[in-house]
Amino acid sequence: MKLIVGLGNPGPKYARNRHNIGFMVLDRIAADHGFPPWKSKHQGRVSEGRFGSNRAVLLKPETYMNKSGDSVGAAMRFYKLDADDVIVLHDEIDLAPAKVRWKVGGGHAGHNGLRSVHAHIGADYARVRLGVGHPGHKDAVPGYVLRDFPKADDSWLDDVIRGCSDGAPHLAVGDGAKFMNAVALRVAPPRSSKTSRAEETAKPSTPEQGPGTDARSPLQKLMDRFS
């Protein structure tokens, strides 16, 4: 069994914040895969369900971001899980918007939610890093992640969220490679051969030479004069 955690802050005030992309993904996963209604448990909101034969617990900590580890630690102990059974989905300012990366272990890179999780369960858990971009200066980061995604981001944001939901069954077995493949099919789907041929047909062709048009280069003309 896996404990799949989305990081964020509770309440409607924060619902569309960049910091809450982890919550957004878990809401989509629960809806798409028929998980039961959320319940208050382990200092968070919990939904327990299955992806086929694989059981999983979805957790949205309600301790606010800086104390996310309180909730994660409580849930992990309750279900008698190890750190490598935990997968945390979180916003990542060091990745461009729409970029998603899978990572196991490592540091928290100053992310307060991860810092708290580290303090409670160590670093040996998996993470899904959800790129939201960087404001350009470190002093602007707190305000940036606590602002809503602009409407202009809706298209790529929806693709990322749905891609993560498509790949959720692979999260339930800890298969990061297959999860990333599912995300890529949403975010950057391959072009079909029909599309490629249509695009090729639409390309302007090289103009044909009309009657009486001399296609020789100046050098060829000069050489022909003395041949």
Looking at residue 150, its amino acid is: P
Angle CA(67)–CA(72)–CA(78) in degrees, nearest 5?
135
The candidate with the shortest Cα–Cα distance to 83, out of 26, 122, 130, is 122
Helix H segments across the chain?
Answer: 21-32, 68-78, 112-121, 141-145, 154-166, 168-171, 176-187, 193-202, 218-225
Instruction: Describe the strand order of the beta sheet including 126-131 as a list of residue ranges.
Output: 39-41, 44-51, 54-61, 2-6, 86-92, 126-131, 100-104
Answer yes or no: are the C-beta atoms of 82 and 27 closer than 8 Å: no
Answer yes or no: are the C-beta atoms of 56 and 43 closer than 8 Å: no
Q: With both helix axes pointing from N to C terminus, report the angle between 112-121 and 68-78 in degrees, rounded to the nearest 10.
A: 40
137 noted as active-site residue: no
**Measuring CA to CA, how many Å separate 138 from each of 111, 132, 134, 135, 142?**
12, 14, 8, 8, 8
Strand 2-6 vs strand 54-61: parallel, antiparallel, or unpaired? parallel
Residue of 19, 42, 90, 170 marked catalytic: 19
* Catalytic residue ranges: 19
